[in-house]
């Protein structure tokens, strides 16, 4: 099984949105036995907190239950447990490269669409719907990449 770790700053907005959307897309493709996504934070400030309410609302409207998710911090001993570490922005990428002391297995989510664009943090922009649409789009390219 291929394991993916989506990573953002606090693990309450972008990375859990990517985790739950990815797993739902994979479920609908009957590929849950081949791929599994998780999500983590690079910071410690939200550890233990649930998904931020606007993100939870988007996922609930898609009939995706995320009520059990709590923010978890990425740690150096997790490197060998995952095949891909996918950051939402360049700060996430930088933090992962420092944590793991490598660039291997670390990607910006937009990489799979063959562009170099960060996913804006809706914590600051308050544009949760645009963030969802962007992540949803990038995930389609990621899944296509993984299936090939």
Active site residues: 8, 14, 121
Sheet containing strand 84-87, edge to edge, reads 35-41, 2-8, 84-87, 106-108
Strands (E) across the chain are located at: 2-8, 35-41, 84-87, 106-108
- CA quadruple 111, 113, 117, 118: dihedral sign: negative
From the number of C-beta atoms within 10 Å of its C-beta (0-12, 13-18, 19+), residue 109 rates as buried
User: CA separation (Å) from 84 to 43, 75, 96, 143?
Assistant: 19, 14, 11, 12
């Amino acid at each position: 099984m291929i394991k993916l770790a989506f990573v953002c700053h606090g693990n309450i907005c972008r990375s859990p949105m990517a985790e739950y959307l990815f797993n739902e897309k994979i479920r609908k493709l009957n590929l849950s036995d081949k791929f599994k996504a998780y999500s983590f934070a690079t910071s410690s400030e939200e550890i233990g907190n649930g998904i931020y309410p606007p993100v939870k609302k988007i996922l609930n409207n898609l009939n995706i239950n995320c009520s059990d998710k709590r923010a978890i911090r990425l740690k150096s001993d997790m490197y060998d447990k995952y095949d891909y570490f996918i950051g939402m922005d360049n700060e996430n990428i930088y933090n992962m490269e420092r944590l793991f002391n490598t660039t291997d297995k670390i990607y910006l989510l937009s990489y799979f669409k063959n562009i170099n664009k960060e996913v804006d943090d809706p914590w600051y922009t308050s544009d949760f719907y645009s963030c969802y649409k962007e992540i949803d789009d990038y995930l389609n390219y990621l899944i296509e990449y993984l299936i090939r």
